[in-house]
Amino acid sequence: MSQWSRGVRGAAEASAASADAPTPPVHQPPVVDPSIPQPTLAVDGPFADLRDQIGRVIVGQDELVTRLLVALLCDGHCLVEGVPGLAKSLTVSTLAACIDADYARLQFTPDLLPADLTGSEIYNAAESKFEVRTGPLFTNVLFADEINRAPAKVQSALLEAMQERQVSIGGQTFRLPPLFLVLATQNPIEQEGTYPLPEAQLDRFLLNVRVDYPGELEEREVLDRTLAGAIDSEASAVDAVLGQAELLAARASVGEVRMEARLRDYIVEIVRATRSPGRLVRDLGTYVDYGASPRATTALAISARALAWLSGRDYATPDDVKAVAHDALRHRLVLSYEAEADAVSADDVISRLLTALPLP
């Protein structure tokens, strides 16, 4: 038998042997739990007029509107993510129009400078001195559209304002108004010409809301409204139904919502489980490099209280905590390369942890 024949025969035998051998198991990524039921908001409860005004323009997107109201009640900032065309910007701008407060919209672009947000010193030739001219950051509601299109130095200009509620310009520190809220949007599928937000910036946001496609009936209603020209006319007819004094009073009421000690322990257990998920669910041990910060514990607690208040209750439940857990934690987890290779998302990790932790 020639060397070529022996090679062909050996290859055929090896192929047959490999076909008979059992196929190695394929690693399956964690399965996300079914969607957690959301608490039902009271029809005639708090902020009902505000939700009605938003509903005149926005079709569906109830969870997005609820999360924006939670951020408003908690004096926290909100980051909204979703593919183009899901009415992210329209929802944010409509909410701002329903509040009797100053509102500024800033389109983030690659050529933006930090001074375009905060302001800068301007030389006054008449008086031969420099004067501080404040920027659009000095407002009540700042709408940062496509925030990830601006470079890191511009994004960093928001750090002091979002946390300390003050801005430093030319060696001077200026306090922001008591009502100061940053509502930002970004498109997660855009890669070219974008600058991902760093972890420190993401941690400043109380909630990170993911917007999904509308249902079939909702999409049909959007089409009908658009063809009838109703959306533009309704957007211009939105009334400011919430004053700053009413909002501050509502925040005080949210602070009176009861949260039992066992529920507080449950919140701490959830956040601490994100830092070492392998102790609770062995499969998740290699998927998380850094868990949620202590700021996540506070964010999860106050968001759950605000959701309970919107539902017309004066006490929070474990369902309130689970309902906002993904929005409060998903942007605070730093996943490993193994998670990316196995297509495991932060939502997968959070869902597995919520399933494994016993309810209080």
What's the CATH code of the domain at 357? 1.10.8.80
On whether residue 5 sits in a domain, the answer given is no
State how many domains the chain has.
Answer: 2
Of 47, 75, 199, residue with least CA distance to 141: 75
> In the chain, which stretches have pLDDT less than 50?
1-33, 233
105 with 247, same domain: the answer is yes
For 132, counting Cβ atoms within 10 Å of its Cβ (0-12 exposed, 13-18 middle, 19+ buried), the class is middle
Q: Specify whether 230 is located in the same domain as 97.
A: yes
For residue 231, the model assigns a pLDDT of 58
State the pTM of this model.
0.81
Shared domain check, 210 and 337? no
State whether 55 and 193 are in the same domain.
yes
Query: Could you tell me if residue 170 is inside a domain?
Result: yes
pLDDT value, residue 329: 93
User: Is 12 contained in some domain?
Assistant: no
Q: Would you say 274 and 288 are in contact if contact means Cβ atoms under 8 Å apart? A: yes
pLDDT at 96: 84
Contact indicator for 95, 68 with CB cutoff of 8 Å: yes
10 within domain boundaries: no
The answer to whether the CB of 357 falls within 8 A of the CB of 349 is no
**Residues 307 and 220 grouped into a single domain:** no
d(CA 49, CA 52): 5
Domain boundary, last residue among 254, 285, 312: 254
Same domain for 277 and 136: no
For residues 247 and 103, membership in a common domain is answered with yes
**DSSP 3-state assignment of 105?**
strand
Residue 339 resides in a domain: yes
For tokens 């969870």, the residue is 63
Query: Can you give the residue range of the structural domain that contains 292?
Result: 258-360
Same domain? 292 vs 347: yes
> Are 216 and 321 within one domain?
no
Q: Domain with 214 in it: what CATH number?
A: 3.40.50.300
Flag whether 11 is in a domain: no
Q: What is the pLDDT of residue 26?
A: 37
- 346 located within any domain: yes
Q: Is there a single domain that holds both residue 204 and residue 117? A: yes
- Compute the distance between CA of residue 280 and CA of residue 273 in angstroms, rounded to an integer: 7
The pair phi, psi for residue 52, each rounded to 5°, is: -65, -40
Q: Looking at 206, 238, 254, which one is the last position of a domain? A: 254
First-to-last alpha carbon distance for the chain, in angstroms, is: 75
Helix, strand and coil in the chain, % to nearest 5: 45, 15, 35
Q: Which of 208, 230, 254 is the last residue of a domain?
A: 254
